[in-house]
Chains A and B, each alone.
Chain A
Amino acid sequence: MSKIRSDYEKTLWRKIVRFVNGEKDFFDEQSGFDVESEELESRKHNNFFEETEWKKKKVQITELIEERSEETDRRAIKLYEKFYRLFAVITCVAIIAILLATVTNLPDYGDASNPANNEVSKKYIEDGIKDTGAVNIVAGMILDYRAFDTLGESHVLFIAAVCVMILLKIDPDSEKGKRFINLENDRAYEPKNDPILAWATRILVPLIITFGIYIIVNGHLSPGGGFSGGAIIGAGLILYLNAFGFKKTERFFTQKTFSVVSVSALLFYSVSKTYAFFTGANGLHSFISKGTPGDILSSGLILPLNICVGAVVACTMYSFYGMFRKGGL
């Protein structure tokens, strides 16, 4: 009888049943079985054992198991370290080999048959103004011909900002946050009351932000565009924050401003340009008139898209700085 029973305990079906009932882990066979079979044995042969004896034995067995698992842990960590180094070397060598192989397959520098010299760039340069209405050919390329590239780029920036938030944002309501908020927060040094910095900021920041807006709005007419203008505005905001502290910037820029501005700008961009993925990067005929090339209100969607990209970039730059400084906006 007992033989059948022990066999029955070790069958796969019984294991699954116990796993389903939640009595023990399916993959943790050995350790779990040791305890239970020992218990069963002792129960069978020494029915007269008292409860205390039982408990002692149980404690001893669990200690043994713990020791054993610690030892296996240590062994696993050693093995892991060896393999970690080996795999690190292998990965590095593989990446270097792949990159070098790619470089050898690149076309020669200055070759006449390069992709840079084929008919695409000729078309962009010759028909750019007629097709897109943008005097600045670069803006016409990145926001009209290749608008979906820029769509991906602005989303990458937004994802980067969100990742920095996940890593660095301190939740003031949680236990850990309460401990950290005084440690990480350097608001104690604010306001700095540095007259040179304050006066320089008062003169410079309006100029910097106006220059950034000029670059964004004239993106289709002169060099620049959404990314560079947005970076300039972000730098201006950072300078303002440094001079006057978070109390003043929180009047116009909070977490809510960041999410509303970035998400609405990205939504507008996505709605207006996602169709390029379905048309194979070909533009559809736009019902917005191109206007006369050279006017501010010309070249269709390029101006609003520049403003969207600029808003996303400015918000991202500022939020990076805010997160690094105090773990919040």
Chain B
Amino acid sequence: MINAFTVVLLGFLIICAICTCFSKNFLTSVIIFMSYSVIMSILWMVLESPDLAITEAAVGAGVTSVLFFVTLKKIHAMNDQKNEDNIAPLDEKEKDRSADM
């Protein structure tokens, strides 16, 4: 049952799991976690349980990650230096604008 394809997938799975824990940026962690779910759903397919594969792809890679993104946005953890003023709260933006004028 274990062929080269499965071994490669399992290796990716372990790398993804470790990277999710050790990446410094929350956004990167969530995206790596999404790829973890995609690999997991292919693995379910290999294990001949398509029911679980569909559910894993929809819930693990779709809905859960979207909920993570919303949470990160709410706690303002998605700010990076480049486009900070795009994500900053509205009143601060207006303050900046008035300062510029």
Q: Which positions in A face B, CB cutoff 8 Å?
A: 138, 184, 186, 188, 215, 223-225, 227-228, 231-232, 234-235, 238, 317, 320-321, 324-325
B-chain residues with CB within 8 Å of residue A188 when the two chains form the complex = 90
Question: Contacts A231-B59, A231-B62, A235-B62 given: A215-B54 contact, CB under 8 Å?
Answer: yes
Most A CB contacts (10 A, CB to CB) among B53, B63, B73 go to B63
For the complex, what is the distance from the CA of A227 to the CA of B58, rounded to whole Å?
10
Interface residues of B in 52-71 (CB under 8 A from A): 53-55, 58-59, 62-63, 66-67, 70-71
Q: Is B51 an interface residue (CB 8 A)?
A: yes
For the complex, what is the distance from the CA of A238 to the CA of B64, rounded to whole Å?
12
Query: B63–A235 contact, CB under 8 A?
Result: yes
Query: A317–B63 contact, CB under 8 A?
Result: yes
Query: B62–A228 contact, CB under 8 A?
Result: no
Query: B66–A232 contact, CB under 8 A?
Result: no
B-chain residues with CB within 8 Å of residue A223 when the two chains form the complex = 50-51, 53-54
Query: A234–B63 contact, CB under 8 A?
Result: yes
B-chain residues with CB within 8 Å of residue A231 when the two chains form the complex = 55, 58-59, 62-63
A-chain residues with CB within 8 Å of residue B55 when the two chains form the complex = 227-228, 231
Q: Is the interface of B mostly helix, strand, loop or mixed?
A: helix
Most A CB contacts (10 A, CB to CB) among B51, B55, B58, B74 go to B58
For the complex, what is the distance from the CA of A215 to the CA of B55, rounded to whole Å?
11
Give chain B's interface residue range (CB within 8 Å of chain A).
10 to 19
B-chain residues with CB within 8 Å of residue A224 when the two chains form the complex = 50-51, 54
B-chain residues with CB within 8 Å of residue A320 when the two chains form the complex = 63, 67
B95 vs chain A, min Cβ distance (A): 15
A-chain residues with CB within 8 Å of residue B53 when the two chains form the complex = 223
For the complex, what is the distance from the CA of A324 to the CA of B75, rounded to whole Å?
11
For the complex, what is the distance from the CA of A320 to the CA of B64, rounded to whole Å?
10
For the complex, what is the distance from the CA of A215 to the CA of B63, rounded to whole Å?
17
Query: B63–A228 contact, CB under 8 A?
Result: no
A300 vs chain B, min Cβ distance (A): 20
Q: Is the interface of A mostly helix, strand, loop or mixed?
A: helix
Query: B67–A321 contact, CB under 8 A?
Result: yes
Closest to B60 in A: A231
For the complex, what is the distance from the CA of A53 to the CA of B69, rounded to whole Å?
65
For the complex, what is the distance from the CA of A234 to the CA of B64, rounded to whole Å?
11
A-chain residues with CB within 8 Å of residue B50 when the two chains form the complex = 223-224
Query: A228–B54 contact, CB under 8 A?
Result: yes
A149 vs chain B, min Cβ distance (A): 15
**A-B contact sample (5 more), CB < 8 A, given A228-B54, A317-B63:** A228-B51, A231-B55, A320-B67, A321-B66, A321-B70
For the complex, what is the distance from the CA of A227 to the CA of B74, rounded to whole Å?
28
A-chain residues with CB within 8 Å of residue B70 when the two chains form the complex = 321, 324-325
Contact with A along B65-101 (1 / 0, CB 8 A): 0110011011000000000000000100000000000
A122 vs chain B, min Cβ distance (A): 18
A289 vs chain B, min Cβ distance (A): 26
Question: Contacts A324-B67, A324-B74 given: A225-B51 contact, CB under 8 Å?
Answer: yes
Query: A238–B63 contact, CB under 8 A?
Result: yes
Query: A228–B67 contact, CB under 8 A?
Result: no
For the complex, what is the distance from the CA of A184 to the CA of B73, rounded to whole Å?
11
For the complex, what is the distance from the CA of A325 to the CA of B74, rounded to whole Å?
8
For the complex, what is the distance from the CA of A138 to the CA of B73, rounded to whole Å?
39
A65 vs chain B, min Cβ distance (A): 42
B24 vs chain A, min Cβ distance (A): 24
B-chain residues with CB within 8 Å of residue A186 when the two chains form the complex = 73
For the complex, what is the distance from the CA of A294 to the CA of B50, rounded to whole Å?
18
A140 vs chain B, min Cβ distance (A): 12
A147 vs chain B, min Cβ distance (A): 16
For the complex, what is the distance from the CA of A186 to the CA of B70, rounded to whole Å?
11
- Can you list 24 contacts pairing A with B, beta carbon distance less than 8 Å? A138-B51, A186-B73, A223-B53, A223-B54, A224-B50, A224-B51, A224-B54, A227-B55, A228-B58, A228-B59, A231-B55, A231-B58, A232-B54, A232-B62, A235-B62, A235-B63, A321-B63, A321-B66, A321-B67, A321-B70, A324-B67, A324-B70, A324-B71, A324-B74
